Structures are given as structure tokens and as C-alpha cells.
């Protein structure tokens, strides 16, 4: 697969994310028995009624001791994988014993990034690295939780969720979709909790525009699977993996990272993924 990348990613970049994903999968398997998810009844109704991601409505009980264990292990993993930034990671390691874990977990679930950023500043840690480590440590827990609702979400997305770029389970913003091999239907993918939800094939996920001719798609030479859908109305774009040319599914977490060249291409053409536009969340 890497041979298709028109933009050279830094050496070891994909390998790092691939190892991280495998590590998180192992954690998720281990946590399955330890995380007690009391499945909400009729989750689709709760989502529609509150118009908020399900996890905000139901909450998720995470044992602070377990989360700390996963964070400790993740920091060890990251130091091994990324010796170039080991000294920064060790600063986080030193602070771990003083963290207020129940508060941190609550803020991570609410995605209160301002709080986390301020905390990082007060500890003199790079906010980007701090949030990366803390958030990646909670992802295996979120994936255990989200997996309980995948079937409900696939069945009921349209009628109950009108914010296609926001994950209806964990509230993270999605920038990636796939078109299913058998029927070309479109599913958004959350790289945080790993669930998918259906959205309309030809409708802008940012503004709802479905005027003929106002949604276009771009692909890069020799690669018909990875595509950019662009909207002339809001100048938004969405990256998409189309399963139809190859007939094969792909790892959507890695595909999103591997197609950074499509983000660059879209930005070059004046489109935005509206990542910083939190006002319409």
C-alpha cells in the first residue's frame, strides 16, 4: 500500500500508528471483561431526544485505577516507539501520580480540550502531546462502550442523528467515510471509538447541501479507492475510501492517516474539513 502515496510521509510514520492501533486493540480485548457497560435501552431515542452523543447522556464509569494502568502502559509503549520525544513523555510520566484521575476521565469523556490544554500549560508539558497520550489511553475504554451500540446506530442513524460529522456515540469529529462494496452506501467512521454510522451518499456532511452538480469528487491518479468529496456550497470536503474498485475493505483508522495527501490536496484547492468550526457542533 505505501507505494501509492504521492506525498512522502516521515519514515516510520505509518508503522507507528499501526503499532499503536494493535496495542489499543490488545487493551480493548483485556478491558472487555473489566469495563461494565450497562447498555442503555433504545439508544437511538436518547440520542435524538438530547441531540447529544450518547456517552454524554449515559455517562461511562471508568475505574480510575484501570485508566491509570492503561495510561502508564501507553507511556511506556510510546517511549519505546518514539525515543525522539522520550524526554517529553517522561515529564508526563513524572506527573501521573499527582493526576486527579476521576476529573481527567470526566473531562476526556466530555472532550473538554480547553481544560486539558490549560492543565498541560500549568504542568509545562506540550498540550498536543499531553492530550494525545491521555486521549489515546481512554480510547480502548470508549471502544468497549461503543461496540455495544454499533448495531443500533447502523439501524437508526438517519432518523435520529442529523450531525453527520460528529460521532453519535463519543462525540468526536469524523473526517473519513467509506462506501460499502456491495451497494455504495456511505458510512462515516469514528477513529476514536471505532463505530460507523450511515449518511447519505451524495449530501454534504458539513452543510447538508445536495444540489446536483454542487458536490464533486476528486481522486488522485492511479488510486480510485481513496477519494475526496467536495461541496461548492460550504467549501467543505470529506475523505472517503471507496470499497468498490478493489472490492475489499480497509483499515479505516490507518487509511485516514495514510491519506494525509488528500487533506493537503483539498486545502490547496481551498476546501476545509471544518475541523475548527466547533460552533455548529
Q: 74 or 234, CB closer to Zn ion? A: 234
Q: 54 or 78, CB closer to Zn ion? A: 54
> Interface with Zn ion includes 109 (CB under 5 A)?
no
CA distance 77 to 82: 8
Which of 190, 255, 257, 265 touches Zn ion (CB under 5 A)? 190
Strand partners, 272: 236
Instruction: Output b/e per residue, 94-121; b: 16+ Cβ within 10 A.
Output: eeeeebebeebbebbbebeeeebeebbe
CA distance 50 to 234: 26
CA distance 242 to 217: 12
> Interface with Zn ion includes 266 (CB under 5 A)?
no
> Interface with Zn ion includes 204 (CB under 5 A)?
yes
Q: 99 or 176, CB closer to Zn ion? A: 176
Q: Report in angstroms how near the CB of residue 161 gets to Zn ion at its nearest.
A: 12
Which of 120, 138, 166, 234 touches Zn ion (CB under 5 A)? 234
Q: Report in angstroms how near the CB of residue 32 gets to Zn ion at its nearest.
A: 17
Q: 120 or 153, CB closer to Zn ion? A: 153
Q: Report in angstroms how near the CB of residue 170 gets to Zn ion at its nearest.
A: 3
> Interface with Zn ion includes 207 (CB under 5 A)?
yes
Whether 241 and 178 have beta carbons less than 8 Å apart is answered as yes
Closest CA to 243 of 196, 187, 181, 153: 181
Which residues, 6 or more positions from 151, have their beta carbon under 8 angstroms from its beta carbon? none
* Contact string 133-172 vs Zn ion (x = CB under 5 A): ----------------------------------x-xx-x
Q: 60 or 92, CB closer to Zn ion? A: 60
Which residues, 6 or more positions from 10, have their beta carbon under 8 angstroms from its beta carbon? none
Q: 71 or 143, CB closer to Zn ion? A: 143
Q: What is the dihedral of CA 92, 98, 100, 105, to 10 degrees?
A: 30
Which of 104, 130, 236, 256 touches Zn ion (CB under 5 A)? 236
CA distance 71 to 62: 13
What residue ranges bind Zn ion (CB under 5 A)?
167, 169-170, 172, 190, 192-193, 204, 206-207, 209, 231, 233-234, 236
Amino acid at each position: 500500500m505505501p507505494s501509492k502515496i504521492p506525498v512522502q510521509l516521515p519514515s516510520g510514520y505509518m508503522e507507528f500508528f499501526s503499532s499503536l492501533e494493535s496495542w489499543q486493540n490488545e487493551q480493548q480485548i483485556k478491558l472487555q471483561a473489566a469495563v461494565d457497560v450497562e447498555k442503555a435501552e433504545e439508544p437511538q431515542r436518547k440520542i435524538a431526544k438530547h441531540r447529544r452523543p450518547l456517552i454524554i447522556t449515559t455517562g461511562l464509569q471508568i475505574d480510575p485505577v484501570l485508566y491509570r494502568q492503561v495510561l502508564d502502559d501507553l507511556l511506556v509503549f510510546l517511549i519505546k516507539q518514539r525515543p525522539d520525544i522520550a524526554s517529553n513523555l517522561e515529564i508526563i510520566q513524572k506527573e501521573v501520580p499527582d493526576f486527579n484521575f476521576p476529573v481527567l476521565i470526566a473531562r476526556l469523556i466530555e472532550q473538554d480540550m480547553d481544560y486539558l490544554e490549560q492543565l498541560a500549560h500549568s504542568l509545562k508539558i506540550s498540550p498536543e502531546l499531553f492530550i494525545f497520550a491521555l486521549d489515546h489511553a481512554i480510547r480502548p475504554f470508549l471502544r468497549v462502550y461503543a461496540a455495544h451500540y454499533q448495531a443500533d446506530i447502523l439501524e437508526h442513524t438517519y432518523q435520529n442523528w442529523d450531525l453527520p460529522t460528529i460521532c453519535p456515540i463519543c462525540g468526536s469529529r469524523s473526517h473519513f467515510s467509506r462506501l460499502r462494496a456491495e451497494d455504495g452506501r456511505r458510512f462515516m467512521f469514528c477513529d476514536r471509538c471505532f463505530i460507523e454510522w450511515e449518511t447519505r451518499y451524495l449530501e454534504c456532511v458539513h452543510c447538508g447541501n445536495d444540489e446536483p452538480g454542487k458536490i464533486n469528487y476528486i481522486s488522485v491518479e492511479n488510486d480510485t479507492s481513496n477519494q475526496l468529496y467536495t461541496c461548492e456550497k460550504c467549501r467543505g470536503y470529506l475523505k472517503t475510501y471507496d470499497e468498490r474498485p478493489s472490492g475489499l475493505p480497509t483499515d479505516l483508522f490507518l487509511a485516514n492517516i495514510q491519506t494525509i495527501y488528500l487533506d493537503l490536496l483539498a486545502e490547496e484547492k481551498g476546501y476545509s474539513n471544518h475541523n475548527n468550526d466547533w460552533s455548529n457542533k
